[in-house]
């Protein structure tokens, strides 16, 4: 295997033969930059509707509206519609905020 001065060699099949290509430092940096930018574009999280976030959490859509009002569920109003990022809601659930007493008073949970 060829020495690539600290860079990982790339194996390529040329005419059925294995060849080794050693990228330059600039090529490696460019590939990392493009890969990072491409990953951000591809993996950009989409906005979810009330129905979709309710299905994600396994609750009734009416519960979502109550949680927005009473428990500060992370939500974004776009015109008349509420939109959600699943990662924000998942963090909110993990933080235990969904199980805390309502903002307006006592908890409605029974233990």
56 and 38, same domain (yes or no) = no
Please tell me the distance from the alpha carbon of residue 73 to that of residue 47, in angstroms, as a whole number.
15
In-domain check, residue 106: no
| Domain extent for 17 | 10-42
Same structural domain for residues 54 and 85? yes
Query: Do 67 and 92 belong to one domain?
Result: yes
pLDDT at 45 over 90: no
List all residues 6 or more positions away from 71 whose beta carbon is below 8 Å from its beta carbon: 97, 98, 100, 102, 103
Task: Give yes or no for residue 10 having a pLDDT over 70.
Answer: no
Report residue 45 as tokens: 């999280």
Domain count, the chain: 2
Residue 75: the pLDDT is: 97
Query: What is the rounded distance in angstroms from the CA atom of residue 2 to the CA atom of residue 10?
Result: 10
Asked if the structure places residue 105 within a domain, the reply is no
Claim: this prediction has a pTM higher than 0.85: no
- Tell me, yes or no, whether 35 and 57 share the same domain: no
């Amino acid at each position: 295997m060829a020495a690539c001065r600290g860079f990982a060699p790339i194996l390529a099949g040329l005419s059925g033969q294995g060849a080794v290509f050693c990228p330059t430092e600039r090529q490696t940096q460019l590939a990392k930059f493009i890969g990072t930018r491409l990953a951000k574009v591809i993996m950009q999280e989409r906005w979810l509707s009330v129905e979709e976030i309710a299905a994600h959490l396994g609750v009734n859509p009416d519960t979502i509206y109550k949680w927005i009002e009473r428990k500060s569920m992370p939500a974004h109003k776009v015109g008349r519609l509420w939109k959600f990022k699943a990662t924000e809601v998942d963090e909110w659930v993990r933080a235990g905020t969904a199980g805390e007493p309502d903002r307006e008073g006592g908890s409605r949970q029974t233990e």
